[in-house]
Amino acid sequence: MNQNDNFKIFLCNFNLWKPTENDWRNALLQLNDIEESTRIMRFQKPIKMPSGKTEWVKGKDNPCAKASLVGRRLMMDLVERMLSIPHNDQKFLRTSNNKPYLVNAIQNINNNNNNRNFNFNVSHDGDYTVIMGSLHIPIGIDIMRSKLPANYNESNIQEFFRSVESCFTELEWKNIRNQVSISNSITNFYRHWCLKESFIKTTGQGLEMDLKRLEFEIDRDKKSARLRIDGKLTDDYQFLVLELKPISVDVELHLVGICFQTSDKSIINLHDSILNSIETLKY
């Protein structure tokens, strides 16, 4: 088996999905999971109406709800593709840290070792929900849109950087800021951010970890990175950075950080093949 066959990435632009109320109800039913459907319907977003009144939006009109529902659908399609477990036979639960996992993998259906070692990770931001599956080694994935949060722009970017100053080391801030343009600084900021998130999601330590303990040095080609933990270089994890180029004028650049819990450095050579093998799904 080709090493790249051990991994699979699905991507979905959930903003392109415009479900009717009936479509939304059917999509929730197809999850076969009342608890998950209820969790998704709890998402609420405040919207200021023309009258000045604030209304709380949920369901199909809430981007977070849509992204989460699409994430569950991607999980189901990934498991069916990689493990040949039909949708109706799949069962997911969540850990105490709210991370979803496949119960079938623990039960080791059909005594298939791939089931026992299988793990996956989901992330969403901007326009996309992304999922990655691995048959053999722990992985973490994080996606970030290369765009400043609301209320920030290029004129007050330093104010934004100060608000997250404690998340990066002095060397990382130097690399983030030392760019030819503000736009490049923003992109480099999110490169570092999604790499830190991918590591945390691989280890399951959560955001309570002091992010300054992690120091990333992104390679010159911007496709891979090295990690120092508490100042010491580690070979126990390998990292890739993918760039999802805009497909239209209304979709911005998105960055994807991937962490592999392995000392096998040859995995960084898979960058281009993994990027080119991403499957875009539509719902």
247-280 per-position pLDDT tens digit? 776 778 999 999 999 999 999 898 999 998 899 9
pTM: 0.91
Looking from the CA of 175 toward its CB, the CA atoms found within 13 Å total 20
Instruction: Check: CB of residue 109 under 8 Å from CB of residue 115.
Output: yes
- Measuring CA to CA, which residue among 148, 192, 198, 154 is closest to residue 173? 192
Q: Pick the closest to residue 217 from 203, 228, 231 (CA basis).
A: 228
Q: How confident is the model at residue 1 (pLDDT cuts 50, 70, 90)?
A: very low
State yes or no: pLDDT of 115 exceeds 90.
Answer: no
Q: Which CATH number fits domain 1-135: 3.40.190.10, 3.40.50.720, 2.60.40.420, 3.90.470.20?
A: 3.90.470.20
Average pLDDT of the chain, as a whole number: 91
Q: How confident is the model at residue 43 (pLDDT cuts 50, 70, 90)?
A: very high
Contacts (Cβ under 8 Å, ≥6 apart) of 121: 131, 132, 139, 140, 141, 201, 202
The answer on pLDDT for 208 being more than 70 is yes
Are the beta carbons of 98 and 42 closer than 8 angstroms? no
- In what side-by-side order are the strands of the sheet with 224-229? 139-145, 254-260, 232-244, 224-229, 214-218
| Contact (Cβ atoms closer than 8 angstroms) between residue 92 and residue 78 | no
**Chain centroid, CA 217 distance in Å:** 20
Residue intervals of the chain classified under CATH 3.90.470.20 are 1-135, 138-261
DSSP codes joined into one string, 88-118:
GG--EEE-TT--EEEHHHHHTGGG-HHHHH-
The rounded distance, in Å, linking the Cα atoms of 14 and 73 is 11
pLDDT over threshold 70, residue 213: yes
Helix or strand holding residue 259 (H, E): strand 254-260
Mean pLDDT along residues 34-55: 90
Give the residues across from 225 on adjacent strands. 218, 239
Tens digit of each residue's pLDDT (9 = 90 or more) over 45-71:
888 878 888 889 999 999 999 999 999
Q: Is residue 109 scored above 50 in pLDDT?
A: no
Q: Which CATH superfamily is domain 138-261 in?
A: 4'-phosphopantetheinyl transferase domain (3.90.470.20)
CA nearest to 29, candidates 69, 84, 81:
69
